[in-house]
Amino acid sequence: MRKSLYPRLAAQSIRNNRRFFVPYILSLMGNVAAFYIMSALVSDPGVQDMTPGHSNGYYYVQMMMSMGMFIAFAFSIIFVFYINGFLMKQRKRELGLYNILGMGKNHIAALMLLEGLYVGVIGIVGGLAVGMLLHKLVTLLLYRALDFAVPLGFYISWSGLAETAILFAGLIAATVLVNLVKVQVSRPIELLRGGSVGEREPKTRWLLTLLGIVTLGGGYYIAVRTSSGVEAIALYFVAVFLVIIGTYCLFTAVSVFILKALRRNKKFYYRTGPFISVSGMLYRMKQNAVGLANICILCTMVMVMISGTLSLWLGTEDISQRLYPSDLQIRVRYFLDEEDPFNASVMLADAESYINSEGVAITGERTMTTIKFGVGLDDAGVFHTNTRAEGIVSSYSLDVLTAAVYTDLTGETVSLQPDEVMVYGTDLTTLEFRWDDRDTGEENYPATTFQVVGHLQESPWFSPQISNQLCLVVADESVLTELYQAQLAAYGEKNASFLEWYAYLDLDCSDEECQRLTEDYWEGDKTDYGAGRWEYMSWNSSGQGRSELYGLAGGFLFLGLFLGFIFLMATVLIIYYKQISEGYEDKRRFEIMQKVGLSREEVRTAIRSQVLMVFFLPIVVAAIHIAFDFNMVEKLLTLFYLHDTTLTALCTLGTLLVFFLVYGVVYLLTARTYYKIVER
């Protein structure tokens, strides 16, 4: 056999099987382009040339894109091997025929090596070309999401090109190696029959069914019962793992149990539509189960990523306004020191003098003092500073405000006695605090008890926490000071919380000028104010804070949409290949049914019923996953200071509806391919 025959035969093979190879090559190009774009964004020098006031912009871009590169390539490995396995199954008969007609396995290996080379060159080179063309467009979208100015110029990342080409060339080489091993260990007769080998009727596996119910129920239980952001961090991937295991068991074992139960119902089963659909799905359920579970998990991943990141981005403005309610925020942490007490008036006067000296007018100001520290609630309804005390059921971050500060924040005037409080975060009517040493458990200060005279529906003090928030409104600063001294006795000065003084100043200047003020302020010597003892001070402008928040939220949104697109593309292709595979398998079965008397219209009805049942089952289960996952996603978003449940719910619902619409379009397109194969 002449060597020149191999390249022509490999090209002809790809051309003849273009229905399989073209989507595979296009998906490979998409993965390559996506990986290159993220790699180029990491190294693009224009990304580093941020406009003034965006000090962490480059960090956000680099962090998000590096994370995206890892996820995208890891997913590409799984996806490429999945599609390659499908291609090998469909082409086994063709390869077996080559072997029967005289081509040795070495010749077939050379043919497959050339096919892999063609696919790799077209996919990688084409993907890099698409990536270079789309890089600038993606940069525009990213910077729009980050609320940054767009860098000028066109950039090609040579290191990104090399890294992408090497990684994906290695991936294609690995798939070719796997294919060669399969061919070498297979006999010709196995190759000839490989494309038509069906699945035996699966047995009802009670242990796997029970495992599916337990794992899925456990994952749902964790998701619903999670009560704080810190719990969500610790348990999210545990819940995800359980749900994934439960999903595979659901489609593999629980679905078989349900189908066999339907078959035992004679009134339902012995009708044309249910008979064909149920028997067909049951016969091939092992093969269907893995594909359906993959589609379900991918759909869930896409919707969770997009809804969560969209909620965060849309809520950024509200977060910014609550975190930075004035143009300039001054924050000072201090201990009570009788010898050199902190003097807030002197500190504020110094700030005012500096701002006025810079030619900037102060249009409004307010100050407040607060304290925050951690406590644990036991099963008897008592709060302890020792959060490891026996019987602790949940942890809280406690914020204490005075009635005067509450009035300043809300405009509502309240009058409280020293033993009375208003509270947010608990429905208890009496609050008892025990000041236990967190190491020894010994009580270092007399217990404090308050009577609750009002339960607040919203926290007056926006203090983002990874644990549950408990906010107390007390009578005056003497009560606040007493609480400070009590927790100081319990924790000791090394571990105790500071008192915190805040000054909120509204300035008659732009965000850029305000940012310049905060930067220039620290150029001089700020160690001696004459304001007494203090431990830490910060100046934060609302413009800088807003930019940081949009940088973080926009980066997550971009990454969510980017990876969501990759996963959606994979979902579409898996569905497409699944429809083709089932079409070829069902074609002969429906031909036999027509020969024994089934009308063409009955065939169409049965086909439509089966396709609808198989196609929409994963998205329905994914929607159920999303519903149970909502609470945990909401708690995770509180780590990014988002507490707007309504916004998160609307984004989740909107994402679900849009995804159902896209999924329906995919169904119409791929089902047409299935119908053509079956009815041909």
Over residues 103-122, the mean pLDDT reads: 81
- Tell me the whole-structure pTM to 2 decimals: 0.73
CA–CA distance, 11 with 118 (Å, rounded to integer)? 8
pLDDT score, position 157: 81
End-of-domain residue from the set 522, 540, 558: 540
Which one is predicted more confidently, 198 or 8? 8
Categorize the per-residue pLDDT at 125 as very low, low, confident or very high, splitting at 50, 70 and 90. very high
Tokens of 60: 């956000």
Over residues 356-367, the mean pLDDT reads: 89
161 and 15 in a common domain? yes
Whether residue 407 is contained in a domain is answered as yes
Three-state secondary structure call for residue 539: strand
Whether residue 262 is contained in a domain is answered as no
Instruction: Give tens-digit pLDDT for 238-260.
Output: 888 899 888 888 777 767 777 77
CA–CA distance, 315 with 322 (Å, rounded to integer)? 11
pLDDT for 100 beyond 70: no
pLDDT score, position 54: 46
Which one is predicted more confidently, 24 or 507? 507
Categorize the per-residue pLDDT at 1 as very low, low, confident or very high, splitting at 50, 70 and 90. very low
pLDDT score, position 624: 93
End-of-domain residue from the set 509, 540, 571: 540
Instruction: Give tens-digit pLDDT for 417-456.
Output: 999 999 998 889 999 998 887 666 677 678 899 999 999 8
**Is residue 473 within 8 Å of residue 401, measured between CB atoms?**
yes
Tally of domains in the chain: 2
CA–CA distance, 653 with 307 (Å, rounded to integer)? 8
Instruction: Give tens-digit pLDDT for 579-633.
Output: 776 676 667 766 666 666 666 676 666 666 666 777 788 888 999 999 999 998 9
Least confident window among 291-300, 371-380, 427-436, 558-567? 558-567
191 and 43 in a common domain? yes
Whether residue 488 is contained in a domain is answered as yes
pLDDT for 75 beyond 90: no
Instruction: Give tens-digit pLDDT for 197-230.
Output: 555 555 667 788 888 889 999 999 999 988 777 7
In whole angstroms, what separates CA 650 from the centre of its chain? 17
Whether residue 658 is contained in a domain is answered as no
Which one is predicted more confidently, 281 or 348? 348
The helix-helix angle for 18-43 and 158-185 (nearest 10°) equals 150
CA–CA distance, 153 with 358 (Å, rounded to integer)? 37
Categorize the per-residue pLDDT at 53 as very low, low, confident or very high, splitting at 50, 70 and 90. very low
CA–CA distance, 599 with 606 (Å, rounded to integer)? 11
pLDDT for 306 beyond 80: yes
Whether residue 25 is contained in a domain is answered as yes
Over residues 9-35, the mean pLDDT reads: 81
Categorize the per-residue pLDDT at 52 as very low, low, confident or very high, splitting at 50, 70 and 90. very low
**Is residue 130 within 8 Å of residue 186, measured between CB atoms?**
no
Over residues 341-360, the mean pLDDT reads: 88
Q: Of 128-137, 410-419, 574-583, which has the strongest mean pLDDT? A: 410-419
184 and 333 in a common domain? no
- In whole numbers, what is the pLDDT of the chain averaged over residues? 79
Whether residue 479 is contained in a domain is answered as yes
DSSP single-letter state for residue 315: T
* Parent domain of 41: 1-197
The pLDDT > 70 percentage for the chain reads: 78
Instruction: Give tens-digit pLDDT for 142-162.
Output: 666 655 555 556 678 888 889
Whether residue 246 is contained in a domain is answered as no
Which one is predicted more confidently, 574 or 64? 574
Neighbours of 227 (CB within 10 A): 15
pLDDT score, position 680: 59
End-of-domain residue from the set 481, 515, 540: 540
Categorize the per-residue pLDDT at 290 as very low, low, confident or very high, splitting at 50, 70 and 90. confident
pLDDT score, position 169: 92
162 and 18 in a common domain? yes
pLDDT for 414 beyond 80: yes
Whether residue 210 is contained in a domain is answered as no
Q: How far is CA 46 from CA 43, 63, 305, in A?
A: 9, 16, 28
Categorize the per-residue pLDDT at 51 as very low, low, confident or very high, splitting at 50, 70 and 90. very low
Q: How far is CA 312 from CA 221, 462, 552, 555, in A?
A: 25, 17, 9, 10
Which one is predicted more confidently, 669 or 131? 131
pLDDT for 189 beyond 60: no
pLDDT score, position 648: 92
pLDDT score, position 50: 44
Nearest to 680 by CA among 607, 596, 617: 607
